[in-house]
A and B are shown apart, each in its own frame.
Chain A
């Protein structure tokens, strides 16, 4: 990257204000033309635990959270103990010296930046969060950015409480000035730009993408990490005229969505794997009665309750197998933030054109992290394709009885909006004939049963025409082709860049349409690849198996991760090297001090030295 990028880690217990300090920092730098990728590693607790938020900041949009922190803001002793050793020469750590003291020697060349918070904010000594504001002010200076950008954010955050604005602006200014007078700035200094960025999550973009593609019905049961989609819809229901309901469980959620979709509304629901498990029965119903519905699964680490606040890509098999029997379905995995915005529109168009369920497989990493987006690049004028929908406006009655499930050459049967005169029908979850009358009770009728299965299956024949095939990124003929799917796109782009810089020629293929599969396009690309390495965030290689099933292609190597944390570029670079050295499977483990299970907070000993070594030996 030509633009300098700085990564700041903010750590504390839940309730210490990690997220709000991070948000203030992110919006402040965004207002100075910096792009941000923020990933928060946290636990399922309301108070306590350890939250570790990393913000990677650069004028050039970072595509992942990186793998090296430059500065740490420690809001509690635990953070200081855990993360001090992660810093490299030139890095620094900010902390409230009235509360915290480093208990280990910092790595060589790392600057300790104690902030005497009570002296800097004497009037507000009793407000514990002042240390956060002071530290954010100091960080702003040390990155080379302006104070005004921060002050304006504090003003808008607390707009309704002038006294709180005053307190915070003073505290932030004190931190900013203290850092200017006492600390060395970071070696990498950020440059202001005039680019405008908005800060948001993949969940918010997915919700917006749906709303702007005509979604008028959304319901959900709260489940991490998909809950923010519900919150976004609830917050914008009135202004955008969308019916939004919180429902008793995911079984009702999806049935309600299908009921609404059946009546002719674009409806969506979202959940995580556990909720999708409850929805599977109805997904089969949508397949059988040929009703469009869009279901988002924001994947988290499973199985069962799993690790509610950690990311994984292990629900691919679940999406393939959701519900009994054979029926057409479409499974899409968005690749990026922009893709989160676009995908619901695509999903709605496909669901309505093919009258089938569409599952969007996103994950915690892309849906909960905060990223800046250049909103001028979002194309909001989505094409709306409602497929062969018959409404009062376009229906013509030719006197013949209406066949809801007519056996057409394309398999797609014109769908009359329920209530349309002369086009009444029964939707049955039993197998039915073209007119909707149940077949299941007819004494053995193999001909009609087969006809209806074929009719539904035939719909999938043209889906690929509506979704662009994946293309190879990077030089054709490279030694290695890294293949990923869904949210790993950003980290793979950077890993490929680094591999090429290190003299290992690599290119990259990212898959976003999983069912149906672009068999020909993918085979054409990969059959010319010298060595295929598949990277995925799960244990068993669910995508690798899918690729082999669809194309017969077998990868040379696999890089997998299922420890709850997302890939970082260095994991992939190191993994590729191991594969080139002869390994065929590399299971990556995040080994930074913060993730060590033998982390000895409260003890002393030789672990600092061991950990520095461990952190570098992925």
Chain B
């Protein structure tokens, strides 16, 4: 029986990956499912996608979605630079990078910082559970101050807020979500696919095995109780002819790079995600209250991305034919003339 097809005629099954080897109930699996949904609903050709990752539980997850896309599992914390090189060589690819809180916040923090500065067209997802699962649950740098391990160890260092850092460094689409919030996460992922530039998406994704107990601030129960949505996110892709009605002043409309529309319905206090300073203030305030601000924290839809700033040929460097990669004798003589 044929299932529903998307705008390029593919069924959802074309977007699935292999069976997960992560723990049952791991937040990462829910994120993989939303990624499948988003790419299917947006009608992205899987063979145009490159999935990048580092090392860790999160970084294994690209195997569990888009099985017919190209994959690159780099080494720990190095995905940002591998991805940058890959896209500089072939900017026609759609890049999604999956990292974790250790892969990003610890060993890869230097690379993360510079990736955010570049505004490279990549969707960078941190599957954030505040601990190292593969090595049995040690704290990572996003663990909250005072959060407690099963063994009783208390985290004694303040967390790195990857969203605040990304905004500070120049990322143009910064969001936070929760693996358990299907609707919000899917809307954000679809909007991310319409954005041209770096999308930094931190998804709180509880580790059921090592960090889902009383005393942890990254457990399912804690996150559900402390989720502070900034707005109600809805997304209308450019290829769907849907008009959204809203009362004046209640909803912010953002036009994306490809013509898609993002509707952010304001909740009680009228949050404006295009105001950088307000975004940083809100992140700090919610953190002080021990809460998570979720939704689109900051968006700047119009800035040039990294590839548009480079003065190379438009077509991918990777595809240049032999006769165009060798400058030849005449060009050499011209250069040599300045050295005589």
Q: Which residues of A contact B (CB under 8 A)?
A: 27, 30-31, 196-200, 204, 208, 211-214, 216-217, 219, 236-243, 245, 247-249, 251-253, 255-267, 281-282, 285, 289, 375, 378, 380-382, 384, 391-392, 417-419, 421, 424-430, 436, 438, 441
The contact sample of 18 A-B pairs, CB cut-off 8 A, is: A199-B340, A212-B326, A212-B327, A216-B89, A248-B111, A256-B84, A259-B84, A263-B93, A285-B75, A380-B329, A384-B325, A418-B50, A419-B48, A419-B93, A424-B46, A424-B71, A426-B62, A429-B73
CB <8 Å contact, A255 and B312: no
**Chain A residues whose C-beta falls within 8 Å of the C-beta of B316 in the assembled complex:** 263
8 Å CB contact of A260 from B21, B85, B114, B339: B85
Within 8 Å CB of B110, what residues of A?
248-249, 251-252
* B80 neighbours in A (Cβ, 8 Å): 252
Q: Which of A259, A285, A424 has the most CB of B within 10 A?
A: A259
Given A198-B340, A249-B110 in contact, is the A427-B71 Cβ separation under 8 Å?
yes
Contact in complex: B81, A252 (CB < 8 Å): yes
Q: Are B81 and A251 interface neighbours, CB within 8 A? A: yes
Q: Check A260–B88 contact: CB distance below 8 A.
A: yes
Bound: A418/B325 CA distance, A: 19
A276 to chain B, nearest CB (A): 16
For residues 309 through 334 of chain B, which have their beta carbon under 8 Å from a beta carbon of chain A? 310-313, 316-320, 322, 325-329, 331-333
Asked if A282 and B335 sit within 8 Å, CB to CB, the answer is: no
Given A249-B110, A251-B81, A259-B81, A417–B332 Cβ distance below 8 Å?
Answer: no
Interface residues of B in 290-323 (CB under 8 A from A): 310-313, 316-320, 322
Cβ B82 vs Cβ A255 within 8 A: yes
B318 touches A255 (CB 8 A): no
Query: What's the least CB distance linking A433 to chain B, in Å?
Result: 13
Set A245, A258, A419: member contacting B82, Cβ < 8 A: A258
In the complex with contacts A282-B78, A375-B332, A267-B47 CB distance below 8 A: no
Q: How far is the CA of A31 from the CA of B340 in the complex (A)?
A: 7
Whether B318 and A263, one on each chain, are in contact in the complex, defined by CB atoms closer than 8 angstroms, is yes
Contacts A238-B311, A281-B75, A427-B71 known; A259 to B326 CB distance under 8 Å?
no
A426 near B63: Cβ-Cβ < 8 Å: yes
**Would you give the shortest CB distance from B74 to chain A, in whole angstroms?**
6
Cβ A236 vs Cβ B335 within 8 A: yes
Contact B86 A198 (CB under 8 A): no
Q: Which residues of A contact B165 (CB under 8 A)?
A: none
The answer to whether B340 touches A196, judged by C-beta atoms less than 8 angstroms apart, is yes
- Which one of A31, A219, A264, A375 lies within 8 Å of B90 (CB-CB)? A264
Give the chain B neighbours of A430 by CB distance below 8 A.
73
Q: A419-B47, A419-B93, A425-B70 are in contact. List 5 more A-B contacts (CB 8 A).
A: A198-B337, A243-B310, A256-B81, A263-B316, A281-B75
Interface residues of chain A: helix, strand, loop or mixed (majority): mixed
Is B72 among interface residues, defined by CB-CB distance under 8 A? yes
B interface list, Cβ under 8 A from A: 21, 46-48, 50-51, 55, 62-63, 68-75, 78, 80-90, 92-93, 110-111, 113-114, 310-313, 316-320, 322, 325-329, 331-333, 335-337, 339-340
**Chain A residues in 8 Å Cβ range of B68:** 424
- Selected from B73, B312, B318, the residue in CB contact (under 8 A) with A242 is B312
- The reply to whether A27 and B340 contact each other, CB–CB distance below 8 Å, is yes
Find out whether the CB atom of A264 lies under 8 angstroms from the CB atom of B319. yes
The winner among A214, A219, A262, A392 for most chain B CB atoms within 10 A is: A262
Contact of A252 with B114 at beta-carbon distance under 8 Å, contacts A243-B312, A259-B82, A418-B93 already known: yes
Say whether A260 contacts B74, CB under 8 Å. no
User: From residue A399, how far is it (CB to closest CB) to chain B in Å?
Assistant: 15
Q: For A30, what are the chain B residues with a Cβ–Cβ distance below 8 Å? A: 340
Known A212-B332, A255-B81, A263-B90; contact A285-B21, beta-carbon cutoff 8 A:
no
> Which of chain A's residues have a CB closer than 8 A to the CB of B326?
212-214, 381-382, 384
In the A-B complex, the 9 residue pairs with the smallest Cβ-Cβ separation, listed nearest first, are: A259-B85, A426-B71, A256-B85, A263-B89, A264-B318, A214-B325, A255-B81, A252-B81, A260-B85
Q: Could you tell me the distance between the alpha carbons of A256 and B86 in the complex, rounded to whole angstroms?
A: 7
Report Cα–Cα, A198/B340, bound state, in Å: 4
Closest B residue, CB atoms, query A393: B321
Chain B residues in 8 Å Cβ range of A31: 340
CB A537 to nearest CB in B, in angstroms, measures: 27
The docked-state distance in angstroms from the alpha carbon of A208 to that of B87 is 24
Contact in complex: A259, B83 (CB < 8 Å): yes
CA distance A198 to B50 in the complex (A): 45
CB distance from A282 to the nearest CB of B (A): 7
**A266 / chain B contacts, CB cutoff of 8 Å:** 325
Residues of chain A with a CB closer than 8 A to B85's CB: 217, 219, 255-263, 267
B312 and A241 contact, CB distance less than 8 A? yes
Considering only CB atoms, which chain A residue lies closest to B325 in the complex?
A214
Most B CB atoms within 10 A — which of A27, A392, A427?
A427
* Min distance, Cβ B135 to any Cβ of chain A, angstroms: 15
Identify the closest chain A residue to B73 (Cβ).
A428
* B85 nearest in chain A by CB position: A259
A217 touches B88 (CB 8 A): yes
| A264 with B332, Cβ < 8 A, contacts A259-B82, A421-B47 known | no
Considering the complex, give the chain A residue whose CB is closest to the CB of B108: A251
When distances are taken between beta carbons in the complex, the residues of chain B under 8 Å from A198 are: 336-337, 339-340
A256 to chain B, nearest CB (A): 4
Residue of B nearest to A30 (CB): B340
Contacts of B82 in A (CB 8 A): 255-256, 258-259, 262
Given A214-B322, A264-B319, A419-B50, decide whether A425 and B86 contact each other with a Cβ distance below 8 A: no
* In the complex, residue of chain A having the shortest beta-carbon distance to the beta carbon of B321: A393
**Chain A residue nearest to B328 in the complex (CB):** A380
Chain A residues contacting B114 (CB-CB under 8 Å) are 247-248, 252
Complex contact A375–B71 (CB within 8 A): no
- Smallest Cβ-Cβ distance to B111: which chain A residue: A252
B115 CB, nearest partner CB in chain A, Å: 9
Q: Quick one: closest B residue to A256, CB to CB?
A: B85
Chain A, residue nearest B324 (CB)? A241
* Inter-subunit contact B333/A375 (CB<8 Å): yes
Residues in chain B near residue A245, CB distance under 8 A: 88
Q: Shortest CB–CB separation between residue B8 and chain A, in angstroms?
A: 14
Q: How far is the CA of A434 from the CA of B33 in the complex (A)?
A: 27
Q: How far is the CA of A243 from the CA of B78 in the complex (A)?
A: 20
Q: Give the residue among B89, B311, B336 with the most A Cβ atoms within 10 A.
A: B89
B326: nearest chain-A partner, CB-CB: A214
Known contacts A212-B332, A418-B50; A265/B71 CB under 8 A: no
In whole Å, how far is A181's beta carbon from the nearest beta carbon of chain B?
31
Residue of chain B at shortest CB distance from A429: B75
B313 touches A241 (CB 8 A): yes
Chain A residue contacts of B47, Cβ below 8 A: 419, 421, 424
User: In the complex, what residue of chain A is closest to B46 when comparing beta carbons?
Assistant: A424
Q: Which residue of A lies closest to B93 (CB)?
A: A419
Among A237, A243, A384, A438, the one with the most B-chain Cβ atoms within 10 Å of its Cβ is A243
